[in-house]
Structure 1
Amino acid sequence: MMMSSSFLVCLLTYFTLWRSVHGLSIYDGSPGANISDYEGELRAEWDRRIIFPPVEEMLSRNKPFIINVEGIVGTGKTTFLDYMKEYPYMDILPEPINKWTNLNGTDLLGLAFENPSRWSMTQESYVQLTLTEEHLRPYGIVKIMERSPHSAISVFSRQFYEAGQMTEVEFNVLNAWYNFLNDKLDLTTDLTIYLRLDPELAYKRVLERGRIEEKNLSLNFLKRLHRLHDDWLIHQNTSMYLPTGNILVIDTSRPLDEMEMIYKHLGKKIWKEIPKGMITYCDQLSETFE
């Protein structure tokens, strides 16, 4: 039996509601006077950026409200996503590192960093595939993805190419695949959140957390990623495809406790902006599973 897109959107909702009811608290406090000056500046911007389509459009389209979270390594994307997990109706998708580090037992990500001239094209081809799969995943009223098929080509593949670690032919093949997928599939998004951080500070954070898959990262690598992210999302270089003009830039150089409060309040903002008609529809549908 074929399932409608609206059914799939709500299917995940049932399980996220179960999660919230069974022991996971949802932040519901009023920010009051606890907001920082920087958060105060951000609020006007996120009020302008976080706008959902009408219920009728949400039900008729074949995808959730899609938010991509972009930024260089060490900028705080994992922390951001952890706070988004507190809210129901959201499908939270960290980047699929487990796939990149274990393709039938092969650590492609590790190979790409150890010998990029040999493995960068192979790794980036697989990254493009897995991120496209996640983009097309139809569950949840809201889907929040770490990175996207667009940053894979506009930032990471381009970085290897500019560093001389990927040939022009290899980059052109990846770009041709991306253009084909972008033409045949709906890879647009509703909002891009750019977590922006100075590469020197990002490098310090990377060293402190000591992840095995990041052991071969260099400061120059992060500097190239930072420049390409800025070219793409801030300067909006016309040679790079933008999946949306709706871009929220957040400076993540602030102290962790301040960033955690910002993420809590931003998560609540997204949650509260979900059209009430969508929540009612999904709540009614979820009753059929009880």
Structure 2
Amino acid sequence: MRPLLPLRLRRAAAGALPRCFGKARRGGSAWRLSIEGNIAVGKSTFLRLLGKTFPEWQMATEPVAKWQKVQASSTRETSSSQNFGNLLQMVYQEPSRWSYTFQTYSCMSRLKAQLEPLSEKLLKTPDPVQIFERSVYSDRYIFAKNLFELGHLTEIEWTIYQDLHTFLLQEFGDRTALHGFLYLQATPEKCLERLHRRGRPEEKAIQLEYLEQLHTQHENWLVKKTTEVHFENLRNAPVFVLNVNHDFEDDPAEQEELMRKVKAFIKTL
């Protein structure tokens, strides 16, 4: 039986937090959006394109480098070269051993990114926009959920992860606010093609089946709205779907059209 939570957490799980979505942007704050999508769908390329098109916006890239080089704290004097671990590689090699560790660290690193203060440059912008490459929400409702369903997270690990996730978002409230999602949508086959093209060593063993599973998770959460979410306002969060099955990286016309759509979407918030 799942242990009873304090009243504050039970209210959180019921959807009383955070008040992040569907709220008007307050003076001095920014529109905050997350780019979501499958592995190798083109999020980093899309983020760079946004930065080039809208240089006044503030971009937060996915902290992959932190996952690839985790420094361990030790009381013993050891060389720095012995003090790092590639957690991303570890979770792909032994998912049942490292999934809980990775998802906890991933959630924390995403949370830290969403808590970063607005830059001075952005504060001086008439219509400030912050863009995050994935969010604490996809961490839970895409990746951790999928690992649990695959059996790589045990039931007790999944319970602890969800309680921690809910508690942290309750504590930080509006500081983790998002106003909507940009969902980059492409077929799993196209994502696999791009994954092989970029050649990230940790990802070489990823199979099409795994990308198909993640695609289904994204569709269920962001398009079909069948994923059970635990935050009331998250259920009504604006989602803008952008089909990126076409390779837009070297297509100026396609890039211009994608940027036009993003700008138009933000005007609707």
Cα pair 2:67 2:106 within 8 Å, conserved: yes
In 2 relative to 1, CA 52–79 (structure 1 residues): closer, same or farther, beyond 3 Å? farther
In 2 relative to 1, CA 244–147 (structure 1 residues): closer, same or farther, beyond 3 Å? farther
SS in 2 for 1:68: strand
Correspondent of 2:243 among 240, 251, 258:
251
In 2 relative to 1, CA 215–204 (structure 1 residues): closer, same or farther, beyond 3 Å? same
Cα pair 1:200 1:219 within 8 Å, conserved: yes
Cα distance in 2 for partners of 1:52, 1:76 equals 29
Cα pair 1:231 1:237 within 8 Å, conserved: yes
Confirm or deny that 1:133 pairs with 2:112.
Answer: yes
Worse-matched range after superposition: 250-259 or 64-73 = 250-259
| Counterpart position of 1:90 | 57
Cα pair 2:229 2:235 within 8 Å, conserved: no
Cα distance in 2 for partners of 1:201, 1:267 equals 22
| Counterpart position of 2:135 | 148
Identity %: 28
SS in 2 for 1:222: helix
SS in 1 for 2:41: coil
Correspondent of 2:216 among 227, 235, 256:
227
In 2 relative to 1, CA 198–270 (structure 1 residues): closer, same or farther, beyond 3 Å? closer
Structure 1 segments unaligned to the other structure (5+ residues): 1-50, 275-290
SS in 2 for 1:145: strand
SS in 1 for 2:202: helix
In 2 relative to 1, CA 217–134 (structure 1 residues): closer, same or farther, beyond 3 Å? same
SS in 2 for 1:85: helix
| Counterpart position of 1:74 | 40
**How many equivalent residue pairs?**
219
Deviation readout 1:225-284 (Å, 9 max, x if unpaired): 10111111111125124375211001111242154233343466579x59xxxxxxxxxx
| Counterpart position of 1:101 | 68
Counterparts of 1:1-290 in structure 2, within 5 Å, are: 53=24, 57-59=26-28, 63-86=29-52, 87-104=54-71, 105-139=84-118, 140=122, 141-186=128-173, 187-237=176-226, 239-241=228-230, 242=234, 245-256=237-248, 257=251, 258-266=253-261
Worse-matched range after superposition: 67-76 or 251-260 = 251-260
Structure 2 segments unaligned to the other structure (5+ residues): 1-21, 72-83, 123-127
Looking at both structures, which has the greater relative contact order when contacts are Cα pairs under 8 Å and sequence separation is at least 6? 2
Q: CA deviation at 1:121?
A: 0.5
Cα pair 1:188 1:244 within 8 Å, conserved: no
Q: RMSD over aligned Cα, in angstroms?
A: 2.4
In 2 relative to 1, CA 170–84 (structure 1 residues): closer, same or farther, beyond 3 Å? same
Cα pair 1:92 1:144 within 8 Å, conserved: yes
| Counterpart position of 2:5 | none
| 2:208 alignment partner AA | L
Q: CA deviation at 1:158?
A: 0.9
In 2 relative to 1, CA 243–90 (structure 1 residues): closer, same or farther, beyond 3 Å? farther
4+ residue runs over 6 A deviation: none
Cα pair 1:70 1:195 within 8 Å, conserved: yes
| 2:242 alignment partner AA | I
SS in 2 for 1:58: coil
Deviation readout 1:4-31 (Å, 9 max, x if unpaired): xxxxxxxxxxxxxxxxxxxxxxxxxxxx
